[in-house]
Amino acid sequence: LLASPFERLPPVGGRCRVSDKKGNKVALRSNDGEGKDADERKKRSMNEPEKIDPRELSPLALAFVGDSVLELLVRQRLVEHHRLSAGKLNAEKVKYVSARAQFREEQLLEPLFTEDELAVFKRGRNASKASVAKHASPEEYRASTGFECLLGWLYLNGQLSRVHELFETLWQSFDPNEK
């Protein structure tokens, strides 16, 4: 028995028919779980995606971007100021972009966050993720996700000067060798 008054009939060409108990066709929908306009969205190529407002993105999508933002800024700073091999550059970079380091960076910067930035950070911190980093506690991992979420949100909203302001403060105040 189904919980709703509608029964699901066998799929028809990637879609499913939804009928009431008397067998009357009620709707024809996508059966891939992607919602009402999934077929239309699939017609667009990845090169022609719709423009999505950053406020509508999930915290984890924002963190996905924010992770890259922080990593690129750290890589750029290291390359511009140090003559190291790629392996040594990577070892230095990890001191800034690991979950544990991002947790400490966020704690350092949090007093500087605006009300909106703090709300975005908390939204990212509270987003559920299935996995936790090997070398970080759940608290550190959640906070690092929140920090990445904030950086992604700032970047996607075109607030690059704010991203650079926070990064400059981080770079001047953060000691990556402190435990």
CB-side neighbour CA atoms (13 Å) of 126? 6
CB atoms within 10 A of CB 151: 29
By annotation, the residues acting in catalysis are: 67
| Position with higher pLDDT, 4 vs 31 | 31
pLDDT in tens, 67-117: 999 999 999 999 999 999 999 999 999 999 999 999 999 999 999 999 999
Confidence at residue 54, expressed as pLDDT on a 0 to 100 scale: 83
For position 2, what pLDDT does the model report? 38
The distance from CA 87 to its chain's CA centroid, rounded to whole angstroms, is 27
The pTM (predicted TM-score) of the whole model is 0.71
